[in-house]
Chain A
């Protein structure tokens, strides 16, 4: 524990800028993955344990498109669409068969896909880790604000994530599709009785969740090495985020992700040997105060 270092950081503008942006970067990437996870849970009441693998696939799709085209923009689009299409297949052919069934069966299907996708990655891309590297146009010196350091790529990443988050908020809150999704989350039978194809709604929700995970993978790939099984660690953190924010709440996922990002960022200064523990401690405190999470609905 180094509380003096933390106190010094809190009164230093350069440290505040660097650590706050660092927290935002960690949090916003987590938000993209957690948003899809919480969306699927909110509508379908399914905990998609394979969501981390969607993130991994997004990273590998982006890497592949980038290698063939040299365009990072195409890589992002390709990854998002690729994972969205896969999510539809996953939902229609596998998950839809275990809706409303035993939770253990859902867990088993998801876990089977984690193992299968990890092996597919090894077969297609090989067991060795890979690195995409930074696209040329982001290879420039970092920006200095009040003495704090912000890499140019991370400015782009924050901007992109903010845009995606705003887009998601608009879609869910203000479009017909969003209204149907929210209605299906509350009463799918009633939605179905109104003549809306709920199967299509469920598949769309999975596609949207997959698209978000694919985007997260594509946005992370210039700075993270790719390896089979890489989705597991982000899945754990995404669960922490969704539990803190409240299962099913996208706003909760956003707040939870930023909280986790800040805890990691400032925790590494003040509690360097307890950063992981701090995240779980935060989750435990919130669950004690509000068992349904910050924005979760009371059961």
Chain B
């Protein structure tokens, strides 16, 4: 019986063993490449003061994933999102990002962290080379500064510099029309508050050099009582006031300032007011507060945008937040790039993302572009309007001038040494 079979010699055994070993070593890779599921990791803030924003980010991503998966996923691979809570701490954001990639096997990251966390995540993806889209960090240097920028990381969200230019131009127009020369500021005392206020004032003065800031107030982040800040502003009697307070701090400040009748005594520009998180919470919303749009279903005034806002509300029983549209847009870019590359591979998607223009309800003219040079999104809806106490809260929004924004942004980059 044995003689009918060819005997196994030493060479065959070694060959076979080597082939088996090679196959074993290659298995995870082959399995990964052929897996029907593609895991996308999502570090975000699900606990603490800004948990609502993290939750709304997750909701927005899930809503888009349902649509993408219904259309076949990323190049035929079904998306599975793995969400981890960073608690808003940069070191935790970095840790969970590494875990998502190394342990959970995520091939792409949607980084829904605030700025401090995003810079930490940027270091992780720089190290591990995984495709990452930052969706909530509005700090301009994340993508503007070539020392921080990495080829595999993109940004799909607002940028502080864009907001400041658009806000400065809008506020200057109003100040010129109404003769508002003396200004005060009231912003939270941390990096975002300081940077945003400084840039807003810089561009306000650029468009209206007659403006003078006479009073600055810097309440601390999450301060419960603004009484001394409000009374100081009342004493200063400025004609106009700029604030970049946000979330619960903004609503507390409005509630407390309202009982001093402050909003009737000066023109108020609160950049973060026109977001549903604040608009729907303030019970006695003062009329006539100027605000930049965050997410609002009436701007861009399109059927598609209104439909998105309503669909999100129907699904989650609340309106989308600023972080919602940013995360939803990131998923739209991801799906479009994957389709263009006909691949779910991070490197190929990254290549396809550079310069990619997509149609989106969040675009000012119905489209948004991933600018190739610094891998950040432009063309998103940006504008300012004034509040009313009930829906639609900000009925008319004046669209920002993107040509002017891009021109001044280039000048700012040169001044900052980024170009």
A265 to B382, CA, bound (A): 37
- Binary flags per residue of A154-191, CB closer than 8 Å to B gives 1, else 0: 10000000000000000000000000000000000000
Partner of B261, one of A129, A134, A141: A141
Partner of B216, one of A139, A224, A229, A272: A272
Contact A276 B283 (CB under 8 A): no
Chain A residue nearest to B250 (CB atoms) is A225
A141 to B265, CA, bound (A): 12
A35 to B222, CA, bound (A): 23
Contact A225 B251 (CB under 8 A): yes
Partner of A264, one of B49, B228, B255, B318: B228
Tell me if A291 counts as interface (CB < 8 A to partner B): no
Contact A233 B227 (CB under 8 A): no
Contact A272 B232 (CB under 8 A): yes
Contact B52 A128 (CB under 8 A): yes
- Binary flags per residue of B244-272, CB closer than 8 Å to A gives 1, else 0: 00011101100110111100000000000
Tell me if A284 counts as interface (CB < 8 A to partner B): no
Contact B48 A229 (CB under 8 A): yes
Contact B234 A149 (CB under 8 A): yes
Chain B residue nearest to A138 (CB atoms) is B259
Tell me if A153 counts as interface (CB < 8 A to partner B): yes
For chain A, the bracket of interface size reads 35 or more
Tell me if A50 counts as interface (CB < 8 A to partner B): no
Chain A residue nearest to B189 (CB atoms) is A273
CB-CB under 8 A from B51, the residues of chain A are 122, 127-128, 228
A60 to B259, CA, bound (A): 21
CB-CB under 8 A from B52, the residues of chain A are 126-129
Partner of A149, one of B218, B231, B232: B231
Tell me if B343 counts as interface (CB < 8 A to partner A): no
Tell me if B229 counts as interface (CB < 8 A to partner A): yes
Tell me if B395 counts as interface (CB < 8 A to partner A): no
Stretch in A18-26, A36-44, A76-84, A194-202 touching the partner:
A18-26
Residues of chain A touching chain B, judged by Cβ–Cβ distance below 8 Å, are: 9, 14-15, 18-19, 22-23, 25-26, 29, 122, 126-134, 138-139, 141-142, 149, 151-154, 220, 222-230, 233-234, 264-265, 267-269, 272-273, 275-276
Query: Other CB < 8 Å A-B pairs besides A26-B225, A138-B259, A267-B228, 14 of them?
Result: A18-B231, A18-B234, A23-B228, A122-B51, A127-B55, A128-B281, A129-B251, A134-B284, A139-B284, A152-B259, A154-B259, A228-B48, A234-B224, A272-B217
Smallest CB-CB A-B distances: 3 pairs:
A133-B283, A129-B248, A151-B259
